[in-house]
Amino acid sequence: MMSSNWNMSVDSHSPDGNPAAQPDFQRQARKGVPEVIIAERKTAEQALDIVRRFLEATGRAILSRVPPDLEARLRSEFEGQAQLEWSPEARAAVLRLPGTLPPQSGGRVGVITAGTSDIPWAAEAALLCREMGCQVETVYDVGVAGIHRLWEPLRFLLEEAQVDVLIVAAGMDGALPSVISGLVDVPVIGLPTSVGYGMGGKGKAALLSMLQTCAPGLAVVNIDNGIGAGAIAGLIANRVANARRGHAFGAPIPGGCQPGGI
């Protein structure tokens, strides 16, 4: 069902008229997923310009894959103007103007990694889920090389946290998402990572293994696509949260979640 809060026009009133970027300020309202500024391959000035425009229009800016020089600029240029939340594992950042509150949707997401080396992309996914209003529980380093480590954390996610969806990040052979998908009754999103070497390395074997799964209920994003995994998980969890609230209070809740100030 298409949201009534949508607008196909692009922003034509940027402060400096810069044609290099056309920020989609209405994406959160229209799509339920906020735009994320991927800083990789942008100059620091381009990224900072987009950040300023998002802060002015929505009160919030989200960045992924932030290089060290841009991190330093974000800390210095917005000090005293916006609150900076930094994810060192993902090298991702969220800036908020005073009075712009983090969203709360009621969605519940679990994020699992096979190894410690998979954390950067899992953290990227978790950050976006939180910015979509979801409560996120993380479990790291429970891969198939020591599968006994998985049982208690998985029980917690399903029985106590009662997550609506799981993101499972794995490199190397990429086996963990299939294992988990064969055990649980919630959707699983496989996130292949570029951890691995030699033949099938850099995530290729992990991606192909997940695509060839025979465990039902597993969907797969591209290698290292933490933002893509987080967007899908957040949409699923928020739809389930809306249904939960509708059942509890007798009326459906409109889709999407907006933080204060947007």
Over the stretch 164-190, which tens digit does the pLDDT of each residue have? 999 999 999 999 999 999 999 999 999
Is residue 260's pLDDT more than 90?
A: no
Residue 19 lies in a domain: no
Could you tell me if 109 and 165 are in contact, meaning their C-beta atoms sit under 8 angstroms apart? yes
Are 89 and 113 part of one and the same domain? no
DSSP state for residue 42 in the 8-state scheme: S
Give the pair of three-digit tokens for residue 222. Answer: 């591209």
Whether 190 is covered by a domain: the verdict is: yes
Cα separation of 184 and 180, whole Å? 6
Statement to judge: residues 118 and 226 lie in one domain: yes
- How many residues are listed for the chain in this entry? 262
Please report the pLDDT score of residue 256 as a whole number: 39
| Average pLDDT estimate for 200-210 | 96
Q: What is the C-alpha separation between 82 and 166, in angstroms, rounded?
A: 32
- % of the chain beyond a pLDDT of 90: 81
> Taking 80 as the threshold, does the pLDDT of residue 245 lie above it?
yes
> Is 61 inside any structural domain?
yes
Cα distance between residue 77 and residue 80, in whole Å: 9
Q: Are residues 88 and 137 in the same domain?
A: no
Q: In terms of residue numbers, what domain contains 66?
A: 27-96
User: What does 99-145 look like in DSSP terms, one character per residue?
Assistant: T-PPP----EEEEEESSGGGHHHHHHHHHHHHHTT-EEEEE-S--GG
Residue 17 pLDDT class (50, 70, 90 cuts): low
Indicate which CATH number applies to the domain containing 142: 3.40.50.1970
* pLDDT > 70 fraction of the chain, expressed in percent and rounded: 87
Q: How many domains does the chain have?
A: 2
What pLDDT was estimated at residue 24?
85
Confirm whether 120 is domain-assigned. Answer: yes
Residues 6+ apart with CB under 8 A from 116: 140, 141
Q: 13 pLDDT band (50/70/90 cuts)?
A: very low
pLDDT tens digit sequence for 91-147:
999 999 999 998 999 999 999 999 999 999 999 999 999 999 999 999 999 999 999
Distance CA 90, CA 86 (A): 9
Name the nearest CA neighbour of 78 among 95, 91, 62, 93.
95
Residues 68 and 143 in one domain: no
Q: Which of 75, 96, 117 is the last residue of a domain?
A: 96
Co-location of 119 and 181 in the same domain: yes
Per-residue pLDDT, 23: 86
Same domain, 39 and 150: no
Contacts for 139 with CB less than 8 Å, ≥ 6 apart: 110, 111, 112, 113, 153, 154, 156, 157
Mean pLDDT of 219-232: 98
Q: Which DSSP letter does residue 16 get?
A: T
**76: Cβ contacts below 8 Å, ≥ 6 apart:** none
Residue 248 lies in a domain: no
Q: Do 155 and 36 sit in the same domain of this protein?
A: no
DSSP characters for 184-234?
A: -SS-EEEEE-S---STTTTTHHHHHHHHT--STTEEE--TT-HHHHHHHHH
Domain boundary among 69, 96, 123: 96
Residues 123, 204, single domain; the answer is: yes
